[in-house]
């Protein structure tokens, strides 16, 4: 069970930890600390005289006299409940009272789905097409599960959850600047508080939703490289390439590609795409984008566009 901290003492504790670690992501909400982090900060602060304590980065001067007992309380509670982590919440008692009133007529005292609401807010703020999102999700679902069934890419069922989540906000930075859409997408998602997501989950979504190519992916990943195992980095790159490819199948936003089928022959992957209308733009874009998927899967991919029988 995690220990959730609210209020100024918890906030200052997290700010000190982030400054000591030179933490690269923005935001305090849902930041997680381990037992070793709490112990280190407690021991570090106890060695400082008051004058130096008041100058600690991340610590408000007016809280210098109470940060030591606050840290001791958090650490003692952590040990007492055998917590799995100390997590800061910027949502305090006022937020709880507000949501309690908001959901009163819904017949529930719990907000339905925090993450869904957060993603819907992003979709609205950046004027994303929910019709296109749902269509691309349909194509991505088919491609993902057919690759999974054939044992390609070492995909796991839980990986689909990440792909689906990122599909809602893929390339949303295009709203700001189409030429630097990937950069804007990554920065916005990695550094914006998204209720319902921990910092690592937010970063993973940013890496998938901003995928452009291997080089840019590595640039975005570089400050956080030590956070991931080599196999995790490869998996994220594969999932990003898969999502980008599926968006290329709806490049004109006309939902031309209706279904797809994956087959393998002599080590190559053959994807047949069933279309309802003229598919030349989608064919052109997907032929350009398939190389990223080929590199991740280490297989050649042949695309065949045919008229749908439906």
pLDDT number for residue 98: 81
Span 116-307 CATH architecture: Orthogonal Bundle (1.10)
Residue 103 backbone phi and psi in degrees, to 5: -95, 5
Q: What is the DSSP letter of 57?
A: T
Per-residue pLDDT tens for 239-262? 999 999 999 999 999 999 999 999
SS3 of 11, please? helix
In CATH terms, the fold of domain 3-102 is: Nucleotidyltransferase; domain 5 (3.30.420)
Per-residue pLDDT tens for 95-112? 878 877 877 777 766 666
- How far apart are the C-alpha atoms of 301 and 218, rounded to whole Å? 23
| Domain locations along the chain | 3-102, 116-307
Helices (H) and strands (E) in the chain, counts: 13, 6
- How far apart are the C-alpha atoms of 82 and 105, rounded to whole Å? 37
Pick from 209, 200, 206: which is nearest to 228 by CA?
200
Per-residue pLDDT tens for 110-165? 666 889 989 999 999 999 999 999 999 999 999 999 999 999 999 998 999 999 99
Q: How many CB atoms lie within 10 A of CB 242?
A: 24
Q: How many CB atoms lie within 10 A of CB 155?
A: 20
Q: What does the angle CA 24 – CA 123 – CA 116 come to, to the nearest 5 degrees?
A: 80
Angle, nearest 10°, between helix axes 214-221 and 199-209?
160
Residue 4 backbone phi and psi in degrees, to 5: -95, 125
- In order of 95, 137, 153, 210, the CA distances from 133 in angstroms are 31, 6, 24, 15
Q: What is the DSSP letter of 154?
A: T
pLDDT number for residue 237: 98
The answer to whether residue 34 scores a pLDDT higher than 80 is yes
SS3 content of the chain, % helix, strand, coil (to 5): 60, 10, 30
Q: How many CB atoms lie within 10 A of CB 245?
A: 25
Per-residue pLDDT tens for 188-213? 999 999 999 999 999 999 999 999 99
Beta strands in 86-196 (DSSP E): 86-88
Per-residue pLDDT tens for 215-244? 999 999 999 999 999 999 999 999 999 999
- In order of 141, 144, 303, the CA distances from 157 in angstroms are 11, 9, 25
- How far apart are the C-alpha atoms of 229 and 127, rounded to whole Å? 35
- How far apart are the C-alpha atoms of 29 and 23, rounded to whole Å? 14
- How far apart are the C-alpha atoms of 138 and 164, rounded to whole Å? 10
- How far apart are the C-alpha atoms of 86 and 89, rounded to whole Å? 10
Listed in sequence order, the residues at least 6 apart from 292 whose beta carbon sits closer than 8 Å to its beta carbon are 211, 213, 214, 240, 241, 244, 245
Please report, rounded to a whole number, the percentage of residues in the chain having pLDDT higher than 90. 88
């Amino acid at each position: 069970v995690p220990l959730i901290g609210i209020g100024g003492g918890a906030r200052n504790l997290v700010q000190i930890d982030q400054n000591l670690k030179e933490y690269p992501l923005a935001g305090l909400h849902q930041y997680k600390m381990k037992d070793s982090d709490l112990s280190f900060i407690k021991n570090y602060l106890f060695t400082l005289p008051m004058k130096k304590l008041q100058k600690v980065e991340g610590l408000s001067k007016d809280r210098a006299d109470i940060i030591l007992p606050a840290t001791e309380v958090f650490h003692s509670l952590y040990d007492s409940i055998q917590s799995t982590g100390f997590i800061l919440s910027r949502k305090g008692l006022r937020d709880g009272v507000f949501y309690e009133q908001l959901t009163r007529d819904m017949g529930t005292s719990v907000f339905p789905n925090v993450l869904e609401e957060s993603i819907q807010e992003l979709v609205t703020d950046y004027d994303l097409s929910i019709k296109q999102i749902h269509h691309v999700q349909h194509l991505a679902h088919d491609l993902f599960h057919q690759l999974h069934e054939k044992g390609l890419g070492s995909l796991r069922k839980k990986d689909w959850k990440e792909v689906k989540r990122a599909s809602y906000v893929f390339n949303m930075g295009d709203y700001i600047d189409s030429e630097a859409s990937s950069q804007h997408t990554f920065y916005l998602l990695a550094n914006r508080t998204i209720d319902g997501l921990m910092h690592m989950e937010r970063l993973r979504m940013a890496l998938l939703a901003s995928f452009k190519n291997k080089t840019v992916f590595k640039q975005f990943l570089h400050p956080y490289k030590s956070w991931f195992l080599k196999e995790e980095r490869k998996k994220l790159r594969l999932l990003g390439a898969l999502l980008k490819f599926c968006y290329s199948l709806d490049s004109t936003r006309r939902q031309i590609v209706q279904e797809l089928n994956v087959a393998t022959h002599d080590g190559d992957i053959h994807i047949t795409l069933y279309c309802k209308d003229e598919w030349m733009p989608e064919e052109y874009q997907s032929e350009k984008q398939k190389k990223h998927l080929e590199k991740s899967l280490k297989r050649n991919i042949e695309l065949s566009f045919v008229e749908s029988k439906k």
